[in-house]
Structure 1
Amino acid sequence: MGFPREFTALGDADDADERTQLAVGAWVQIARLFLSQQARKSKVAADLGLTASDLISLFHMQPDEGVSQRALAEHWSCDPSWVTTRIDRLEQLGLAERRLSPTDRRVKEVWLTSAGLAKRAAGMTGFGHPPEHLDTLSLTDLRALAKILAKLDLPDPTRVGLGAIALGR
């Protein structure tokens, strides 16, 4: 099982101009780099006694604020029942708890517990190091790559519903 041939073939089409070919080639490499880290994410999670979904759920919760399950569903671009399942699991593990909102008694917010904060921090440390593939680049190449990627107008994943992508949904 590998990378879809149809995906890489997009830039090989006879009618594809150079810009399209280069863009597809760059995107394929970015996707391959991302996909190559899936096993690493699972290992970091397993080392903490978690699943990859548990770990990513912790990453998408802010350490110093509660959040409603509805807001999590919107942020993760998923069904609220799936959020309930995720939060139930985090509660069973002692990593999160539901509390009444201080501003609206009809709403329960999800907060990370001290154990959840510790697992989140350990996961950030474990997964926060750049992939070893980047170690093969020279300092000049790393500077160029960082400069190019900084030019992309990418949404802030902490503020938009990109969590579903990271959660593999």
Structure 2
Amino acid sequence: MNARDRDDEGRARNARPRDGLGRPLPYGAQGVERQPEGVVRSPGETVAQAQRLLDAGMPFHAHEVFEDAWKSGPGAEAPLWRALAQLAVGLTHAARGNAVGGARLLRRGALALAGLDEAGAAPGTPYGMDLAGLVRWARELAGRVEAGAAVDAATEAPRLTGGPGRA
């Protein structure tokens, strides 16, 4: 590691360990293994990996998986993956106790997903995901967060595929 946490190409890389919600820990502390960046996955692999991380109470790490899909996939799908990343970051902020940021990102992601569904850009259940259910989940959670509810990331994690669960 160099003094400024930069990779060989000069891009910032924070080498500090992080907890399950992505918060930096002191150097030398035992953290949660970070998601590798720039991984190209199929849409199904993206959904499955993100769901595993959400279920484990690690929405920050799930957001990184969605971000990889957003940046490496077809441009037409970028709004879908970006909206899902916003939901994951919203859950992250809510679980960290940042009610304003959490609610704002949950609502922003919900609005984007609802717009995609209404426009037919990502109709109903792309890759088995229940967009309407995710929109409902995000709006309901945003309301509870704004009302002061404490959030446990694993307990509140949505079911992306609309199977049994919270979305």
TM-score by length of 1: 0.30
Question: Which structure has more helix as a fraction of its residues?
Answer: 1
Higher relative contact order (CA closer than 8 Å, sequence separation 6+): 1
Pick the structure with more strand per residue: 1
TM-score of the superposed pair, with normalisation by structure 2: 0.30
